[in-house]
Amino acid sequence: MSAELLGEIRENLSKGKANEVQALCQKAVDTGIPVEKILSDGLIAAMAVIGEKFKKNEVYVPEVLIAARAMNSGMGVLKPLLKQAGVEAKGVVCIGTVKGDLHDIGKNLVGMMLEGAGYEIIDLGVNVDAAKFVEAVKEKSPDIVAMSALLTTTMGAMKATIEAIKESGLNVKTMVGGAPLTESFANDIGADGYAPDAASAVEVADGMVA
């Protein structure tokens, strides 16, 4: 029964059926399946499959966004119960698109995939300058600062942000990504990690908090 229900949650999430995922999560809770199990074997497992398919170009941005929306409606049921049960997020990620850059579709996708993988996401939005990242790290003590840039002209803002974080003496990992970036650029600016796409961002984050 429990395995069947979790399978139904995965199947409906992968089809982006938000209402069904929400109802099935509620049914799973009512049936007595532990909330952590519904999260890990239902929602997170399904998002991981979507992430892998996205990486292989078997599904595209719209499907990922629709699946993430379905995941969010399931999370609406689980979140308060996870809090009550004292279940900790895998890690906390402060994410933002860097100064001068207003592109947020990729950044949002990365945030959704990370959330789907069990991270708490603090979204700082777009056009985020170094001072705002530093302030967020001081206030929220995240494990990872994740920066996105889509313009060659804003890649330099990542370097400035990493330098500002280091100068402030804050102990936080930094991850960068976005279409114009390369791994060698990420290394040059002193980032702790680089991910070419949203699914890889989860792998990189997992490596950082392990």
With beta carbons less than 8 A apart as the criterion, state whether 101 and 126 touch: yes
Q: Which stretch binds ligand B1M (CB under 6 A): 43-51, 77-85, 147-155, 182-190?
A: 147-155
Write each residue from 51 to 80 as x if it is in contact with ligand B1M (CB under 6 A), else as -, in one continuous string: ----------x-------------------
Q: Which residues in the 166-205 window bind ligand B1M by CB under 6 A?
A: 175-180, 195, 197-198, 201
Q: Based on CB atoms, which residue is closest to ligand B1M, 35 or 189? A: 189
Separation between Cα atoms, residue 198 and residue 207, nearest integer Å? 15
Q: Pick the binder of ligand B1M from 52, 60, 80, 102 (CB under 6 A).
A: 102
Binding flag, residue 162, ligand B1M (CB under 6 A): no
Identify which of 174, 165, 122 has the alpha carbon closest to the alpha carbon of residue 144: 174
Question: Tokens for 139?
Answer: 């206030």
Q: Pick the binder of ligand B1M from 52, 58, 60, 105 (CB under 6 A).
A: 105
Q: Based on CB atoms, which residue is closest to ligand B1M, 73 or 161? A: 161
With beta carbons less than 8 A apart as the criterion, state whether 171 and 86 touch: no
DSSP three-state, residue 132: helix
With beta carbons less than 8 A apart as the criterion, state whether 199 and 63 touch: no
The distance between the two most distant Cα atoms of the chain, rounded to a whole number of Å, is 54
- Enumerate binding residues for ligand B1M (CB under 6 A): 61, 100-107, 109-110, 146-148, 150-153, 175-180, 195, 197-198, 201
